[in-house]
């Protein structure tokens, strides 16, 4: 049975809470929760998925990120658990990344509050002790990344014999990260008589193969994407600044100093970048706050309340953290990291320029990323103006103009009598023009005008040779990956025990634009190529397509990563564990006769 929809069908409102959701068969406790959370109408994927899920049918759903998939499977799952014999655990949700595990875990907690459903997120990079204690006590729903779930299964700390429902969320991303074998191993352990739902943004043959093996007569749902039309964001002024990575932070600070946004949403790729940028911006006098998956709900609520009330002018976020948040229209959206998907780009900048107001979208990008900018322009049919980073002289002129404008506003408002006496006293001892200039200098200094600045080297705006290959649609996260890998096409994900193709260390050299990272664990520690790809993509928040060749040797491994991201990846992996091991991670320096040093 197949369903395909682009727009929600009309329906007769029902009495009571959340009429759209009530019509789908959800009970009062969940409707009360949805009403409290401010949900009004279900999204298309929710309309199509909730009724068959409540009936116990298997589901095969295709819908893009941000369409409401989490509620589509979480709400009926909670209702089914509440009405079944409560056995711990009753449901298993598998997701590709720790960020998504935390996000889905929080959603289950919010939606299941009235039903007293307990949930445990299980992912790598987190102390395993608390997970073991929670599993021993018993929980209703487990949200896990495949690697950590399999780790618990092998330790016999996670028993799957009581599982009644399994959900594979973002299945295509899990396959891209090398989790195909892990998924098969986990699903083989789950009781045959269970309900299974698989959700994926794309439906390549590999997904169809998993569905055929593990789903029984599934209801197939496809939510067609609304085509992006030319001029879809006509009131958003889009600009881009091409800057080499060492100068990105300084460039962002300069651009924000020039723009002086009243409310801006700044997107970063990783939590590390979010925290670093927030600290930098706060140090420069901006009222900035961070929001990412490492924060608990009270912290998020505090940050969002501050942003909505105008106490915070800059909100620095990861895509995952910003997803689903009720963020009001903002004056500026800044892409500190350019997304690889045009749809994500359009979704981001759609948060500005609402309700007839004009908005600004600013992107700071590395010269190698200009192909991605072309793809966005091609899809949206909207011009993105590439500009030079403002100079120190430009900033000084802007600040002086801003100071002049502020003084003119005060003059127009009047009510200056108490200050005139001070000015008269000062004018008696010196030139009135000098007195006014001194006051102006004081205001200028308070606004940061005397902070020591330096000019940021210009990156070449000359675009690299346009690719002659037919471009894939940017909705596919694998589109034109050479824009992120220095011209190298990604390899196919390795199967169990295989390596990505790679020349022997020290003989083949490295790919242009790529750096090799040495990881102090190999085959003897049970390391597989998929473990390394998954760890880097998961912990550093990267798409697996930017990772190059991988070679797993007996006692160490080598992974090619984009040179501009190498430092960040090394720092991230140094703080985490790979298959439970704390390993040494450093830049691999090739020697003429080979060998890692």
For 111, what's the count of Cα atoms within 13 Å in the CB-facing half-sphere? 23
Q: Which residue has the tokens 């069908």?
A: 9
Give Cα 585 distance to the centre of its chain. 25
C-alpha torsion sign, points 510, 511, 517, 521: negative
> What was the pLDDT predicted at 543?
62
Q: What is the 3 state secondary structure string of 165-227?
A: EEEECCHHHHHHCCCHHHHHHHHHHCCCCCEEEEEECCCCHHHHHHHHHHCCCCEEEEECCCC
Q: pTM to 2 decimals? A: 0.49
Q: Which fold has domain 481-587?
A: Alpha-Beta Plaits (3.30.70)
How many Å apart are CA 125 and CA 266, to the nearest integer?
A: 26
Q: What's 236-392's CATH class?
A: alpha beta
> What is the CA angle 490-277-588, rounded to 5?
40
How many Å apart are CA 43 and CA 7, to the nearest integer?
A: 9
**Number of neighbours of residue 123 by Cβ within 10 angstroms:** 23
Question: Which residues lie below 8 Å from residue 564, measured CB to CB, with a gap of 6+?
Answer: 245, 366, 368
> What was the pLDDT predicted at 541?
65
CB 569 within 8 A of CB 517: yes
How many Å apart are CA 322 and CA 337, to the nearest integer?
A: 14
How many Å apart are CA 188 and CA 192, to the nearest integer?
A: 8
Note if the bond before 472 is cis, omega within 30 degrees.
no
Pick the closest to residue 543 from 421, 372, 401 (CA basis).
Answer: 372
> What was the pLDDT predicted at 545?
63
From first to last of its 597 residues, the chain has per-residue pLDDT tens of 555 444 333 333 333 444 578 899 999 999 988 877 767 678 889 999 999 999 999 999 998 665 778 899 999 999 999 987 777 899 999 998 887 888 899 889 989 988 989 999 998 777 778 888 888 888 999 999 998 899 899 888 898 999 999 999 989 888 877 888 899 999 999 999 999 999 988 888 889 899 999 999 999 999 875 555 544 444 688 999 998 878 888 899 899 988 888 899 999 877 778 888 999 888 878 899 998 877 777 888 898 889 988 889 999 988 767 765 667 678 899 999 887 667 778 888 888 876 567 789 999 988 767 777 877 887 777 788 889 898 888 888 887 887 788 788 878 888 887 787 788 888 877 788 887 788 777 777 766 666 667 778 777 544 443 333 233 333 333 333 333 333 333 333 333 333 433 333 333 445 666 888 999 888 888 888 888 888 887 777 666 667 888 888 888 899 988 877 888 888 888 888 887 788 889 888 754 434 443
How many Å apart are CA 194 and CA 190, to the nearest integer?
A: 8
Pick the closest to residue 33 from 88, 114, 149 (CA basis).
Answer: 114
Element (H, E) at 2: strand 2-5
How many Å apart are CA 56 and CA 40, to the nearest integer?
A: 25
Strands 514-519 vs 557-562: parallel, antiparallel or unpaired: antiparallel
How many Å apart are CA 126 and CA 145, to the nearest integer?
A: 12
> What was the pLDDT predicted at 326?
65
> What was the pLDDT predicted at 3?
53
Crossing angle of helices 432-446 and 392-413, rounded to 10°: 110
Indicate the CATH number of 2-223 among 3.40.50.300, 2.160.10.10, 3.40.50.2300, 1.10.10.10: 3.40.50.300
How many Å apart are CA 126 and CA 152, to the nearest integer?
A: 13
Domain residue ranges of the chain, discontinuous segments joined by +: 2-223, 236-392, 481-587
Whether 2-223 shares its CATH topology with 481-587 is answered no
> What was the pLDDT predicted at 192?
92
For 28, what's the count of Cα atoms within 13 Å in the CB-facing half-sphere? 2
């Amino acid at each position: 049975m197949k369903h395909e929809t682009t727009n929600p069908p009309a329906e007769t409102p029902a009495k009571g809470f959340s009429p759209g959701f009530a019509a789908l068969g959800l009970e009062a406790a969940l409707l009360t929760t949805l009403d409290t959370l401010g949900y009004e109408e279900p999204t298309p994927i929710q309309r199509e998925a909730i009724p068959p899920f409540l009936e116990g049918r298997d589901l095969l759903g295709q819908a893009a990120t941000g369409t409401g998939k989490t509620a589509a499977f979480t709400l009926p799952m909670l209702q089914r658990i509440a009405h079944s014999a409560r056995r711990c655990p009753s449901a298993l949700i598998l997701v590709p990344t720790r960020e998504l595990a935390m996000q889905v875990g929080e959603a289950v907690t919010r939606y299941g509050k009235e039903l007293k459903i307990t949930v445990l997120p299980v992912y790598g990079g987190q102390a395993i002790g608390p997970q073991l204690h929670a599993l021993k006590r018993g929980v209703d729903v487990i949200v896990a990344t495949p690697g950590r779930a399999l780790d618990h299964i092998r330790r016999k700390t996670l028993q799957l014999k009581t599982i009644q429902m399994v959900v594979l969320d973002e299945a295509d991303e899990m396959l891209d990260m090398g989790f195909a074998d892990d998924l098969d191993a986990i699903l083989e352990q789950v009781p045959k008589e269970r309900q299974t739902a698989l959700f994926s943004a794309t439906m390549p043959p590999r997904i169809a193969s998993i569905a055929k093996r593990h789903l029984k007569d599934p209801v197939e749902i496809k939510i067609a994407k609304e085509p992006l039309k030319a001029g879809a964001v006509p009131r958003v002024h889009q600009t881009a600044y091409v800057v080499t990575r060492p100068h990105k932070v300084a460039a962002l600070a300069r651009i924000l100093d020039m723009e002086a946004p009243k409310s801006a949403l700044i997107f970063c790729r990783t939590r590390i970048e979010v925290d670093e940028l927030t600290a930098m911006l706060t140090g420069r006098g901006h009222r900035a706050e961070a929001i990412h998956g490492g924060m608990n709900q009270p912290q998020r609520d505090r940050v969002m309340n501050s942003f909505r009330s105008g106490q915070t002018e800059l909100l620095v976020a990861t895509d995952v953290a910003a997803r689903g948040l009720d963020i009001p229209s903002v004056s500026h959206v800044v892409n500190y990291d350019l997304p690889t998907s045009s749809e994500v780009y359009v979704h981001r900048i759609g948060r500005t320029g609402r309700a007839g107001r004009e908005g600004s979208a600013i992107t700071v990008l590395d010269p190698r990323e200009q192909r991605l900018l072309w793809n966005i322009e091609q899809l949206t049919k909207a011009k993105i103006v590439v500009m030079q980073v403002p100079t120190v002289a430009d900033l000084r002129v802007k600040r002086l103009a801003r100071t002049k404008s502020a003084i003119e506003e005060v003059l127009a408002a009047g009510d200056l009598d108490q200050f005139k006496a001070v000015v008269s006293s000062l004018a008696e001892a010196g030139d009135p023009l000098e007195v006014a200039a001194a006051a102006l200098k004081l205001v200028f200094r308070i606004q940061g005008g005397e902070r020591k600045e330096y000019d940021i080297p210009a990156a070449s705006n000359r675009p690299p040779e346009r690719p002659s290959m037919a471009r894939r649609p940017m909705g596919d996260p694998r589109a034109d990956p050479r824009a992120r890998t220095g011209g190298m096409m990604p390899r196919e994900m390795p199967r169990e025990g295989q390596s990505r193709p790679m020349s022997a260390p020290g003989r083949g050299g490295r790919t242009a634009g790529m750096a090799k990272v040495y990881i102090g664990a190999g085959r003897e520690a049970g390391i597989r190529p998929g473990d390394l790809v998954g760890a880097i993509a998961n912990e550093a928040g990267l798409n697996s397509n930017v990772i190059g060749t991988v070679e797993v040797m007996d006692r160490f491994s080598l992974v090619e990563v984009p040179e501009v991201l190498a430092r960040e990846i090394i720092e991230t992996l140094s703080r985490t564990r790979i298959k439970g091991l704390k390993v040494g991670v450093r830049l691999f320096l090739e020697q003429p006769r080979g060998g890692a040093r």
